[in-house]
Amino acid sequence: MQAPAIPGNEAARLDTLRALQILDTQPEERFDRLTRLAKRMFDVPMALVSLVDADRQWFKSRQGLAVSETPRSASFCAHAINGEDIFEVDDALNDARFFDNPLVTAGPHIRFYAGCPLTVPEGMRLGTLCLLDIKPRTLSAEDRTLLRDLARMAEEEIVAVRMATMDHLTQLSNRRGFETLSRYVLANCHRLGLPASLFFFDLDRFKDINDRFGHAEGDRALSAFSEILRETFRESDVVGRLGGDEFVVLLSNANERSAREALHRLDAAIDRYNDTASRDYALAYSVGVTRYEPLRHPAIEDLLADADEAMYRDKQARRIAR
């Protein structure tokens, strides 16, 4: 059996998947109607919405299959998410990658598989809408078009789920999404003994921007700062907007030196933006930096509270300096 390759963006992919808070949830009609439709349209005994987790594939919706998850190592879907289009196996018994796969040699005795990756806007492939049969078969060109169409519908449902954890204006994680992701990150840091730091940002004089130039310009300032944060920090860092002009970034596996270097990069990026932007105001921020200490910060809320206090001290110091 050939084990599936791990995608190059695996850490960010898993962060995105877990931020949805969709794993291990109850069945939902909006997904079940798609797998029922797929099962009927393609006349297959099994149709699934499968999400590929770190060491398993879990089925948000399943038709014709009793189990709710299987190991990732044996997953056809884990192969499928490494490509952009439909991954098809006409006859698993005659395929060197799958002929001895336990899902082929034993129940559910898969012979045919076709899975279309489910991709969110950032390009993360989280799982598949897939068809399974106990007999060999081949999709026609029309079949492949129909499967892609159903997969796009499943993606729309995933995006709808995701909007509950996303900030509409900036497309960063909102408070709920940030806290969910951060819990996974901090648990991993605690387990592995890795350092972590939290930055709590507040835009300086943001009310003045709204008052002088209007809320539309205020929104553009928030979007610009969000984009600078996204470009400055690593893909593995968790970036969120808590609300208003408050932003947070959680750095994992980052010591104090790494945190300082990240702030220097941010300052340079802000300076470049202010130098090139043709506006009558400049972006500026106050920041509180707090190092994660497991005993002091048993929950992400504790780390946020300490960083928030540090940010207000920084803002007060800036006011005095001015």
Catalytic residue numbers?
245
Closest by alpha carbon to 84, among 4, 7, 181?
A: 7
Strands of the sheet with 125-133, listed across from one edge:
69-71, 56-63, 46-52, 125-133, 112-119, 87-89
Residue 212 CA to residue 282 CA, distance in Å, equals 13
Q: Residue 75 corresponds to which amino acid?
A: S
φ/ψ region of 68 (left if φ > 0, alpha if ψ in -120 to 50, else beta) reads alpha
List C-alpha distances in Å: 184 to 6, 179, 209, 300, 314: 19, 9, 36, 10, 29
Task: Measure CA of the first residue to CA of the last residue in the chain; give whole Å.
Answer: 67
Residue 252 near residue 236 (C-beta atoms within 8 A): yes
Q: Residue 132 corresponds to which amino acid?
A: L
Per-residue tokens: 205: 């004089």
Cα 125–chain centre separation = 10
Residue 158 near residue 120 (C-beta atoms within 8 A): yes
- List, in sequence order, the alpha helices (H) in the chain: 10-19, 29-42, 77-80, 102-105, 141-162, 175-192, 206-213, 215-232, 256-276, 300-321
Instruction: Enumerate helices (H) and strands (E) in the chain, giving the number of each.
Output: 10, 10
